[in-house]
C-alpha cells in the first residue's frame, strides 16, 4: 500500500463530547442548519451565528481527542515510516486530529480556530470569540467571521484532494453521514480511481455510495481495531 487517504466527519469526535450535525432531526446543537451554516443565515443574524461558533470554539477547547483520533495519528506515523503516503481529510472544524498528533490534516470545511476577514480575505489563527467584532489584524476592518465553509460555499483544498485521490490505494471514510457534498462524493472518486474503499461508521450511510468493506460500531472501537489490522498486515 503506498497511498492511503482517510476522510473523517463529525462522528469521530462524537465520543469526545462534540455533537454531530444531523443526529437530532437536522439540528446542530439545537440550531437549524439554515440559521448557523449558510451565508444567508449570517447576513440575517450575524450575532446569532457568532454566538453559535464562539460557543463551538469554547466547547471544543474543553474536550480531548479520543482513541479514534489517536489511532489515526499512529496510522500516519506507520504509513509514512514505511515510505507510503498518508492524507487525512476532515470535514470537522475542531482541532482534535492535530491535538491527537496527526501532522497532515486537510480541513475541507475550515477550522474553528481560524478567522476569515470578509473584507480582505485574510485567514488568521484565532482562539478567542469573534462576537465582539474584533479588527482584522491585516486590514483592520471589524469584519472577521468564522473561517468555516458554509453551505453554498466552496470547500478548501479541493485541488489537493483531487490529486491525492487520483492514485489512492485505500480510501477510508469514518464517522460521516455521507450527505454533505462534495465530501460525500469522494469515496466514489477514489473508487473510480481504483482504490479499495472502507466505511467505518456507527450505522449504514443513507447515500448510495458502495464500499468494498463496511465496519459498523463506535469510532473509539472500530478505528483502533482497523488501524491495528492494517498495520499488522505486511501487504498494506
Ligand atoms: P454528520 O453529523 O452529518 O454525520 C455523522 C455521522 O457519524 C453519522 O453517520 C453517524 O452515524 C456517525 N456517528 C455518530 N456517532 C458516531 C460514533 N461514535 N462513531 C462512529 N460514527 C458515529 O457529520 P458529517 O457527515 O461530518 O457532516 C457534518 C458537517 O457538520 C461537516 O461539514 C462539519 O463541518 C460539521 N460539523 C463538525 C463537527 C466537528 O467539527 N466536530 C461537529 C458537528 C458538525
pLDDT tens digits along 181-206: 888 899 999 999 999 999 999 998 77
Cα-to-chain-centroid distance, residue 116? 18
Question: Of all atoms in ligand 1, which is nearest to the CA of residue 92?
Answer: 40
**What residue owns the CA closest to ligand 1's atom 13?**
11
Q: Do domains 1-17+65-109+155-236 and 19-62+112-148 have the same CATH topology?
A: no
**Residue position matching grid coordinates 444567508:** 40
d(CA 65, CA 17): 10
Query: Is 22 touching ligand 1 by the criterion CB < 6 Å?
Result: yes
Domain at 1-17+65-109+155-236: CATH code: 3.40.50.1220
**Residue position matching grid coordinates 443565515:** 41
Q: How far is the CA of 82 from the centre of ligand 1 (A)?
A: 31
Q: What is the CA radius of gyration of the chain?
A: 18
Query: Is 186 touching ligand 1 by the criterion CB < 6 Å?
Result: no
Question: Of all atoms in ligand 1, which is nearest to the CA of residue 148?
Answer: 34
> pTM score > 0.75 for this model?
yes
Query: Is 15 touching ligand 1 by the criterion CB < 6 Å?
Result: yes
pLDDT digits (tens, 9 = 90+) for 37-87: 999 999 999 999 999 999 999 999 999 999 999 999 999 999 999 999 999
Ramachandran region, residue 100 (left: φ > 0; alpha: ψ -120 to 50; beta: rest): alpha
Residue-range domain boundaries for the chain: 1-17+65-109+155-236, 19-62+112-148
CATH of the structural domain 19-62+112-148, one choice from 3.30.1600.10, 3.20.20.70, 2.60.420.10, 3.40.190.290: 3.30.1600.10
Q: What percent of the chain has pLDDT over 70?
A: 95
Within 10 angstroms of residue 112's Cβ, the number of other Cβ atoms is: 23
Amino acid at each position: 500500500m503506498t497511498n492511503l487517504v482517510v476522510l473523517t466527519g463529525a462522528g469521530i469526535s462524537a465520543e469526545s463530547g462534540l455533537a454531530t450535525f444531523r443526529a437530532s432531526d437536522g439540528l446542530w446543537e439545537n440550531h437549524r442548519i439554515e440559521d448557523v451554516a449558510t451565508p444567508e443565515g449570517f447576513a440575517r443574524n450575524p450575532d446569532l451565528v457568532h454566538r453559535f461558533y464562539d460557543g463551538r470554539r469554547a466547547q471544543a477547547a474543553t474536550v480531548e481527542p479520543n482513541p479514534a483520533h489517536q489511532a489515526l495519528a499512529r496510522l500516519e506515523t506507520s504509513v509514512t515510516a514505511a515510505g507510503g503516503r498518508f492524507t487525512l481529510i476532515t470535514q470537522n472544524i475542531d482541532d482534535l486530529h492535530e491535538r491527537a498528533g496527526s501532522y497532515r490534516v486537510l480541513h475541507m470545511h475550515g477550522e474553528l480556530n481560524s478567522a476569515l476577514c470578509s473584507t480582505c480575505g485574510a485567514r488568521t489563527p484565532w482562539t478567542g470569540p469573534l462576537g465582539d467584532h474584533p479588527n482584522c489584524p491585516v486590514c483592520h476592518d471589524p469584519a472577521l467571521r468564522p473561517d468555516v465553509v458554509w453551505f453554498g460555499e466552496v470547500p478548501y483544498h479541493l485541488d489537493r484532494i483531487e490529486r491525492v485521490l487520483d492514485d489512492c490505494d485505500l480510501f477510508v471514510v469514518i464517522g460521516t453521514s455521507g450527505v454533505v457534498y462534495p465530501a460525500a462524493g469522494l469515496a466514489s472518486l477514489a473508487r473510480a480511481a481504483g482504490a479499495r474503499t472502507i466505511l467505518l461508521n456507527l450505522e449504514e450511510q443513507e447515500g448510495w455510495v458502495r464500499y468494498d468493506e463496511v465496519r459498523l460500531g463506535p469510532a473509539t472501537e472500530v478505528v483502533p481495531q482497523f488501524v491495528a489490522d492494517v498495520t499488522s498486515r505486511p501487504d498494506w
